[in-house]
Amino acid sequence: MVAVSIMAMVLVTLLGLKNRSMQDVMVAEHITTATMLAKREMVKTMTTHLSSNWVPDEKEGDFTGEEAFNGYTWKKTVSLIPLFGSAVIAEIRVAVLWNEGTRPEMVELVDYE
């Protein structure tokens, strides 16, 4: 009887660990996908501004037309940071957002030009 109750406790614990492990894999998959999407948006932004004439800007969007990325949205922000003299550096931020269950999640990439 004692052995059966110990086995039951062990099995319940193992099932709980398996479920948690599966959730962790899903979160890791979403983070990987969001990072890839953020990198893609960053490359698009950097290649469309090949000159150094950056202007402050903020845009948002989603991945319409790409069914695999439903639920993900993006936000791009370009800020100008003054340096000494008349020098200015552009800070480009690309964030990809999604909902993980009921809580919002985000991956953000930052580059300076």
Q: Residue-wise pLDDT tens for the chain (113 aa)?
A: 888 888 878 777 777 677 777 777 888 899 999 999 999 999 998 888 766 678 898 999 998 888 889 899 999 999 999 988 888 889 999 999 999 888 899 999 999 98
pLDDT at 97: 95
Determine the length of the chain.
113
pTM of the model: 0.77
Confidence at residue 37, expressed as pLDDT on a 0 to 100 scale: 95
